Amino acid sequence: MSDLSEKTDEEIALRVQAGEEDVYGDLISRYEAKLMRYARKFLSDKEDATDIVQDIFIKAYENIQSFDATRRFSPWIYRIAHNEFVNALKKKATRRIVFTIDMDTLFPHLASTETADSAALERDMRETLEKHLKQVSVKYREPLVLYYLESLDYKEISEILQIPVSTVGVRLARGRASLQKIAAAQPDKPLYE
């Protein structure tokens, strides 16, 4: 691994595209812990998470030429991760087919505005996420992880999940509401307001 600490992810990706394969390790170093955290929150099996994160880096390397360096690298690799996680969940799912309609996409609502207490709320949300995340539906779990734990903005989450920005806001609001219900059902645990 070289010392590219001053370089952006996009600059390193350009160098990999130009044939400097050895600098790819710098991108792995920057994203390995983040993607493992994302995987552990998304998937239930820790061994699966490790294997899938390795697959993500292999896929990203194999497809690095398709990365547009005028855009941010993080949404690109998180999109690959999202696809791998969804595929892993599909493999584990039962074979029954259920017809569903994504109400968030059909009826998106504007996200609520931030309040003066947003920093305190975000800190409380992170604590609640750590305690109750596995109990939240995957549909709402993923945006919560990307927003609160990976610090991605609505637009980046929209690109990763390939849903409208307004739907990101809806899923975050519904995910927060779901977490609040779960936490309220367990009164010994702190509840955010």
Give yes or no: residues 63 and 114 share one domain: no
Q: Residue 4, Cβ neighbours under 10 Å: how many?
A: 18
Quote the crossing angle between the two packed helices 24-42 and 73-92, to the nearest 10°.
Answer: 40
Whole-number Cα distances in Å, 2 to 27, 52, 58, 70: 11, 25, 19, 23
Of 70, 92, 114, the residue that ends a domain is: 92
Print the domain residue range for 176: 103-184
Last residue of a domain, one of 46, 66, 92: 92
Q: How many domains does the chain have?
A: 2
Q: What is the CATH number of the domain that holds 169?
A: 1.10.10.10
- Supply the pLDDT for residue 148: 85
Same domain, 23 and 52: yes
114 and 180 fall within a common domain:
yes
Q: How far is CA 34 from CA 108, 149, 185, in A?
A: 29, 9, 30
Decide which of 92, 119, 149 is a domain's last residue. Answer: 92
Provide the residue-wise pLDDT of the chain in tens; the chain has 193 residues.
Answer: 556 778 999 999 999 999 999 999 999 999 999 999 999 888 766 767 888 999 999 999 999 999 999 999 999 999 999 999 888 887 776 434 444 445 555 445 544 445 556 667 667 767 777 788 888 888 898 898 898 888 889 999 999 999 999 999 999 999 888 888 888 887 654 444 4
Predicted local distance difference test score (pLDDT) of residue 94? 47
Q: What is the pLDDT of residue 98?
A: 46
Number of H helices and E strands in the chain, helices first, is 9, 0
